[in-house]
């Protein structure tokens, strides 16, 4: 210790510097004294100004569709439902006709119901990782508070569906990878495309 | 005297001259009481706002911003909240004392305002024993705190109250001793007399004044239970200390007492050591320009209001520019500067341990206070260079000795048999 009260004065100096750093005139004073200055206020006034979150920021999944909402990528395979750790995904499907044969739209089966309970989801992204069809992706909307537990916090298929363009817009890098993968898959499937009728179930037989 | 300086005094005199003779005395008393009764809550409310704003800035935050521009209506919102909160009295508590304690805490805090010399000729009651009155009244608060802690029937409250009483009684001694030197030099107990005695030189610019000022201010900080001496309400140990079991308006009264006493400590330090209402003869137009710039650059205020403020300030500056800054502005400026120091302490210093607190009062402040009286005597006895040098030397040497005497020899480093 240098002299009596030195530590106290040093501590007071630290808080005074922090205090001055939060004002423009205070920063000018500090610069005038040739003291290194940092920008003072870190608080973001949340509802008025929002933080620019990173591209990889994720909060809640959504279902991707191409062109039209009925052309969704999901085939109701239920892998995500089984893998979901808090079990917040509920899928009914794939859709079937009266005889119990799977119905198809755009060459794919599709779910009858697809619900995700927002209040249970823990934003882990496992559903996205396990989906073989890149049909489910993470959204970055986080202002999802609601006053009603079952009406508004359980997201049904209608609320979950978002276009592929939206995905490309919020997460360009990830969307580019996904699109590349889907294009490669399509190209692989294309040579086998000429006899496409073969795997289709014989109709009316 | 200049017009701006005596603005309130003249206004009061004019108001009283409108009344018939027999009513003048009573009206004069009522005006003083009314002004204090209106001023005290406003000062308290905006002290809370100021404290929250300042402490926030020291922690890189904004503080209140949502209610009104710059959060200026926050104290009103807080007051409203306190009013509509439920008043909870613990089962088994002494209901009467539980109610009486916060009131007993606020009353002396407001009574103290009666003897503050706010400006030249601006004192509600110039008692010739003003200084004694101050110490007599301010020590009532320890009764209130103990009463509140006892009546709450809660272990946290009673521990907080006991700590508080021990602390207040301990710190009253150095607080009074540091002012004895002021009484000696000023030769009067009247606060106006003390301020006027500082005309040629503020007491803080003498060796015994520096020590006395620090001792009085720090003892005051301890007496009003503020950080770093806030043992009686140590949140991390005692929940809320003596006011753990208080809610609603009673809790607000505790806070009001605490903030008014903080203000009182700052005002008294200014009166005793920092020259009271006196200040260097700075022309008023400088202050007017400063205020005009401040109002004009307030980004969040509506433009018409800013223009109005700038015009008003410019008008005041043009009208009274040649006069010195009025005495009441000096008093409040100095007092609020000390309030800033209080908040600054709170933003910086951690809480002392109980033994450190008592050690500071009894082993350092008390002997230093006694030596300070001798130092003041030396300063008065011998003419300028000798007396000042002698008292400065005496104080430096004795404080060094006291620190040495109070620091026991450092223990030999421990060796842990099984750790090596």
Residues 6 or more apart whose Cβ sits within 8 Å of residue A105: A70, A71
Instruction: Please check whether residue B404 lies inside any domain of the structure.
Output: no
Q: Are residues B230 and B331 in the same domain?
A: yes
Q: Within this chain, do residues B277 and B288 fall inside the same structural domain, yes or no?
A: no
Phi and psi torsions of B220, nearest 5°? -65, -45
Same domain, B156 and B296: no
Residues B199 and B302 in one domain: no
Beta bridge partners of A115: A90
CA–CA separation, B388 and B294 (whole Å): 41
Mean pLDDT value across residues B117-122: 84
Residue B216 reports pLDDT greater than 90: yes
Give the β-pairing of A89-92 and A113-117: antiparallel
Which chain A residues touch B59 with a CB distance below 8 Å?
A: 18
Q: What is the mean pLDDT of residues B214-233?
A: 84
The range of the structural domain enclosing residue B67 comes to: 25-282+324-356
Question: Nearest chain A Cα to B53, which residue?
Answer: A19
Same domain, B290 and B187: no
**Cross-chain CB nearest to B60 (options A4, A14, A18):** A18
User: Quick check: A190 pLDDT over 80?
Assistant: no
Do B308 and B204 lie in a common domain? no
- Cβ distance B156 to B239 under 8 Å? yes
Is A162:A74 a contact under the CB 8 Å cutoff? Answer: no
Shared domain check, B294 and B165: no
The distance of A8 to chain B (nearest Cα, Å) reads: 8
Residue in chain A closest to B64 (alpha carbons) equals A45
Do A28 and A84 share a domain, yes or no? no
Query: Do A85 and A18 lie in a common domain?
Result: no
Q: pLDDT (tens digit, 9 = 90+) per residue, B302-328?
A: 778 888 888 888 888 777 777 788 888
Q: Considering B320, B341, B371, which residue would you say is the last residue of a domain?
A: B320
Is B187 among the domain residues? yes
What number is the average pLDDT over the span A77-99? Answer: 89
Do residue A8 and residue B65 have CB atoms under 8 angstroms apart? no
Structural domain of A166: 60-181
Q: pLDDT digits over B348-369, tens only?
A: 988 888 888 888 889 889 999 9
Chain A: closest CA distance from residue B306 (Å): 19
Tell me what percent of chain B is helix, strand and coil, each rounded to the nearest 5: 70, 0, 25
Terminal CA-to-CA distance of chain A, rounded, Å? Answer: 97
Residue A21: what pLDDT?
87
Residue B159 DSSP one-character state? H
Residue-wise pLDDT tens digits, B170-187: 898 999 999 998 998 888
**CA-based max dimension of chain B:** 91
Percent of chain A with pLDDT over 90: 19
CA distance A36 to chain B (A): 16
Mean pLDDT is highest, among A195-199, B15-19, B42-46, B240-244, for B42-46
Mean pLDDT of B213-234: 84
Confirm whether B12 is domain-assigned: no
Span B230-259, average pLDDT = 82
Residue B3 lies in a domain: no
Rounded mean pLDDT, B239-262: 86
pLDDT interval class at B215 (50, 70, 90)? very high
Is there a single domain that holds both residue B70 and residue B211? Answer: yes
> Reading across the β-sheet that carries A161-163, which strands appear in turn?
A136-139, A60-65, A161-163
More reliable by pLDDT, A46 or B341: B341
Q: Does A2 have pLDDT greater than 60?
A: no
pLDDT digits over B91-102, tens only? Answer: 888 888 888 999
Cβ atoms of residues A88 and A127 within 8 Å: no
Say if residue A94 is in the same domain as residue A158: yes
Instruction: Name the average pLDDT for chain A.
Output: 84
To the nearest whole Å, the CA of A17 is away from the closest chain B CA by: 8
**Are residues B400 and A43, on separate chains, in Cβ contact within 8 Å?**
no
Indicate the pLDDT class of residue B120, thresholds 50, 70 and 90.
confident
Interface of A with B (CB under 8 A): 4, 8, 11-12, 14-16, 18-19, 21-23, 40-43, 45
Average pLDDT over residues B140-160: 87
Q: What is the pLDDT of residue A79?
A: 92
B344 closest CB neighbour out of A16, A40, A43? A16
A68 & A156 share domain: yes
* Mean pLDDT for the stretch of residues B382-391: 84
Instruction: Evaluate if residue B63 carries a pLDDT over 60.
Output: yes
The nearest CA of chain A is from the CA of B108 a distance in Å of 32
> Taking CB atoms and an 8 Å cutoff, what residues of chain A touch B62?
41, 43, 45
By the 8 A CB rule, do B191 and B126 touch?
Answer: yes
Give the separation between CA B156 and CA B165, rounded to whole angstroms: 14
Asked if residue B299 and residue B339 are part of one domain, the reply reads no
Alpha-helical regions (H) of B203-301: 207-223, 235-238, 248-272, 284-296
- The DSSP code for B360 is I
DSSP letters along chain A, please? --STTHHHHHHHHHHHHHHHHTSHHHHHHHHHTT-----------TTTS-----TT---EEEEEESSSTTSBS-----HHHHH-TT--EEEE-S-B-TTSPBP-BTTB---SEEEEETTT-----HHHHH-TT--EEEE-------S-TTTTSEE-HHHHEEEHHHHHHH-HHHHHHHHHHHHHHHHHHTTT-SSTTTTSPPTT-
B chain contacts of residue A18, beta-carbon cutoff 8 Å: 57-60
Q: Answer for the pair A106, A71: CB distance below 8 angstroms, yes or no.
A: yes
**How large is the average pLDDT for residues B7-13?**
81
Q: Are B342 and B315 within one domain?
A: no
Indicate the residue of A11, A12, A22 with minimum beta-carbon distance to B57: A22
Residue B301 clears pLDDT 80, i.e. is over it: no
Contact B57 A40 (CB under 8 A): yes
Selecting from B59, B65, B349 the residue whose C-beta is nearest the C-beta of A8 gives B349
Instruction: Sort out which chain A residues have CB atoms less than 8 A from B403's CB and list them.
Output: 4
pLDDT score for B1: 45
Same domain assignment for residues A35 and A121 = no
In chain B, which residues touch A (CB < 8 A)? Answer: 54, 57-62, 65, 344-345, 347-349, 399-400, 403
Cα–Cα distances in Å, from B12 out to A57, A138, B48, B323? 66, 71, 29, 21
Residue A197 has pLDDT above 70, yes or no: no
From A5's Cα to the closest Cα of chain B, the distance in A is: 11
Residues A114 and A16 in one domain: no
A23–B348 C-beta distance less than 8 A: no
Percent of chain B with pLDDT over 70: 98
* One domain, residues A22 and A120: no
Q: What length does chain A have?
A: 205
Per-residue burial over B47-66, b if 16 or more Cβ lie within 10 Å, else e, is bbbbbbbbbbbbebbbbbbe
Distances in Å between the alpha carbon of B141 and those of A81, B108, B146, B260? 66, 7, 9, 12
Q: Which residue of chain A comes nearest to B65, CA vs CA?
A: A45
All residues of chain A having their beta carbon less than 8 Å from the beta carbon of residue B349 are 8, 11
- Residue A92: inside a domain, yes or no? yes
Kindly state whether residues A38 and A135 are assigned to the same domain: no
Burial A168-202 (b: 16+ CB within 10 A, else e): bebbeebbeebeeeeeeeeeeeeeeeeeeeeeeee
Nearest to B54 by CA among B42, B41, B70: B70
The verdict on B173 and B69 lying in the same domain is yes
- The pLDDT of residue A205 is 44
CA distance B239 to B156: 7
Q: Is residue A19 part of a domain?
A: yes
Give the pLDDT confidence score for residue A191 in this predicted structure: 67
Looking at the structure, do residues A69 and A166 belong to the same domain, yes or no?
A: yes
Residue B407 lies in a domain: no
Q: Are B368 and B402 in contact (CB under 8 A)?
A: yes
Query: Do A113 and A17 sit in the same domain of this protein?
Result: no
Does residue A193 lie in a domain region? Answer: no
Structure confidence at residue B321 (pLDDT): 73
B377 CB burial (10 A radius; 0-12, 13-18, 19+): middle
Domain match, A32 and A69 both: no
Return the pLDDT at A192: 58
Q: Are residues B311 and B344 in the same domain?
A: no
**Count of CB contacts below 8 A, A vs B?**
41
Does residue B227 register a pLDDT over 50? yes
**CATH number of domain containing A76:** 3.30.70.3270
Residue B377 domain-assigned (yes or no): no
In this structure, are A37 and A81 located in the same domain?
no
CB within 8 A of B82, min separation 6: which ones?
Answer: B248, B249, B251, B252
* B400 domain-assigned: no
ipTM (interface predicted TM) = 0.80
Chain B residues whose CB is inside 8 A of the A11 CB are: 348-349
Q: How many domains does chain B have?
A: 2
User: How many domains does chain A contain in total?
Assistant: 2
């Amino acid at each position: 210790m240098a002299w009596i009260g030195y530590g106290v004065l040093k501590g007071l100096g630290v808080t005074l510097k922090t205090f001055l750093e939060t004002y423009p005139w205070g920063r000018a004073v500090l610069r005038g004294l040739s003291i290194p200055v940092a920008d003072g206020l870190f608080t973001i006034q949340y509802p008025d100004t929002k933080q620019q979150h990173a591209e990889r920021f994720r909060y809640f999944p959504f279902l991707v569709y191409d062109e039209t909402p009925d052309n969704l990528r999901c085939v109701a395979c239920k892998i995500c439902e089984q893998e979901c750790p808090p079990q917040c995904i509920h899928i009914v499907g794939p859709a079937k006709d009266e005889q119990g044969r799977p119905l198809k739209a755009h060459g794919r089966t599709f779910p009858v119901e697809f619900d995700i309970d927002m209040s249970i989801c823990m934003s882990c992204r496992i559903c996205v990782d396990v989906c073989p069809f890149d049909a489910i992706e993470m959204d970055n909307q986080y202002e999802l508070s609601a006053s009603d537990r079952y009406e508004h916090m359980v997201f049904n298929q209608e609320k979950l569906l978002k276009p592929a363009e939206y995905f490309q817009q919020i997460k360009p890098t990830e969307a580019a990878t996904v699109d590349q993968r889907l294009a490669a898959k399509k190209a692989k499937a294309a040579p086998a495309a000429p006899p496409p009728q073969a795997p289709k179930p014989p109709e009316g037989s | 005297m200049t017009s701006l300086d005596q603005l309130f005094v003249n206004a009061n005199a004019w108001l009283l001259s409108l009344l018939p003779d027999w009513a003048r005395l009573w009206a004069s008393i009522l005006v003083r009481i009314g002004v204090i009764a209106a001023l005290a809550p406003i000062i308290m409310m905006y002290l809370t706002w100021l404290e929250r704003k300042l402490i926030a800035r020291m922690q890189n935050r904004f503080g209140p911003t949502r209610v009104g521009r710059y959060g200026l209506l926050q104290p009103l919102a807080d007051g409203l909240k306190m009013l509509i909160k439920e008043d909870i009295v613990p089962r088994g508590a002494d209901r009467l004392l539980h109610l009486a304690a916060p009131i007993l805490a606020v009353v002396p805090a407001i009574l103290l305002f009666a003897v503050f010399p706010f400006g030249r000729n601006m004192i509600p009651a110039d008692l010739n024993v003003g200084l004694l009155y101050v110490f007599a009244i301010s020590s009532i608060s320890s009764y209130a705190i103990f009463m509140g802690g006892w009546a709450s029937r809660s272990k946290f409250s009673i521990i907080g109250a006991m700590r508080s009483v021990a602390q207040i009684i301990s710190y009253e001694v150095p607080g009074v001793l540091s002012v004895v030197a002021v009484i000696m030099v000023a030769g009067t107990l009247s606060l106006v007399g003390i301020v006027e005695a500082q005309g040629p030189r503020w007491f803080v610019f003498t060796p015994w004044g520096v020590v006395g000022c620090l001792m009085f201010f720090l003892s005051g900080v301890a007496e009003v239970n503020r950080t770093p001496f806030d043992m009686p309400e140590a949140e991390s140990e005692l929940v809320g200390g003596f006011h753990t079991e208080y809610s609603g308006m009673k809790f607000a009264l505790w806070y009001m007492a605490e903030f008014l006493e903080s203000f009182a400590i700052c005002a008294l330090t200014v009166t005793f050591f920092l020259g009271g209402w006196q200040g260097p003869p700075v022309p008023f137009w400088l202050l007017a320009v400063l205020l005009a710039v401040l109002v004009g650059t307030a980004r969040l205020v509506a433009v018409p209001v800013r223009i109005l403020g700038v015009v008003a300030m410019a008008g005041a500056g043009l009208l009274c520019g040649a006069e010195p800054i009025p005495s009441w502005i000096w008093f409040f400026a100095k007092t609020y500067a000390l309030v800033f120091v209080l908040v600054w302490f709170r933003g910086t210093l951690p809480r002392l341990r109980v033994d450190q607190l008592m050690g500071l009062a009894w082993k350092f402040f008390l002997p230093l206070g006694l030596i300070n009286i001798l130092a003041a005597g030396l300063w008065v006895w011998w003419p300028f260079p000798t007396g000042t040098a002698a008292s400065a030397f005496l104080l430096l040497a004795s404080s060094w000795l006291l620190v040495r005497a109070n620091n026991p020899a450092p223990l030999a480093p421990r060796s842990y048999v099984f750790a090596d």
